[in-house]
Amino acid sequence: MITPGQTVGPFFGQALPYDGGNELVPVGRPDAIRLHGFVHDGDGTPIPDAMIEIWQADATGRVPRETGSLHRDGWTFTGWGRAETERTGHYSFTTVRPGPTEEGKAPFFAVVVFARGLLDRLFTRIYLPGHPANDDDPLLASLTEEERATLVATDEPTGLRFDIRLQGEGETVFLQHD
């Protein structure tokens, strides 16, 4: 018997968010930034019940190895966070700018997107704007200028903005992950 496919949600509001999930560092930390943006469908309509997860290195480029990602103790940086979108499709994290994990490598946030209608999660990256190593990054170098622009955040006075478009014109580049 063949079982029909299932979509990813929407069920995030009651099952997956938790207190402090979007706060990788405390808001008052001196190097804290806000990483935020909007999630839109192919028509440009905001998606009010998507969920975004990020993984990242710390500001020095160290990939955290601490356990207990769900536990927010106010000082341990686990490099992982989860945020749901609001009614307007907006999401927000409090974190730090990641450093390069190796000399000459472009720092980035690894991102996973869950949203209604998706049969599986989507993987992408957020690169820091103007970082000199972006020019040598193999992924960014393999893309057209238009595609590349969908993976680079925009600087703002309090941090970074990164909008995610699931389809259509300006669609975010998504990665295959096996």
Please tell me the predicted confidence (pLDDT) of residue 72: 77
| 79-134 confidence digits (pLDDT tens) | 999 999 999 999 999 999 999 999 999 999 999 999 887 878 999 999 999 999 99
Q: Which of 46, 49, 166 is nearest to 111 (CA)?
A: 166
Residue 8 to residue 130: CA distance in whole angstroms: 34
Q: Are strands 122-127 and 108-114 parallel, antiparallel or unpaired?
A: antiparallel
Which letter does DSSP use for residue 126 in this model? E
Please tell me the predicted confidence (pLDDT) of residue 177: 78
Q: How confident is the model at residue 160 (pLDDT cuts 50, 70, 90)?
A: very high
| 42-87 confidence digits (pLDDT tens) | 999 999 989 999 999 999 999 998 777 777 787 888 899 999 999 9
Cis upstream peptide for 4 (omega within 30°): no
Which letter does DSSP use for residue 59 in this model? T
Residue 150 to residue 175: CA distance in whole angstroms: 12
With a CB cutoff of 8 Å and minimum separation 6, the contacts of 24 are 54, 56, 77, 78, 79, 80, 81, 93, 94, 95, 96
The dihedral of CA 86, 120, 57, 156: what is its sign?
Answer: negative
* Residue 52 near residue 36, CB atoms below 8 Å: no
Integer distance in angstroms from the first to the last C-alpha of the chain? 26
Please tell me the predicted confidence (pLDDT) of residue 75: 80
What class, spelled out in words, does domain 12-165 have in CATH? mainly beta
State residue 83 phi and psi, 5-degree precision.
-135, 140
Cut 0.85: pTM above it:
yes
Residue 111 to residue 104: CA distance in whole angstroms: 21
Q: Is 74 left (phi over 0), alpha (psi -120 to 50) or beta?
A: left
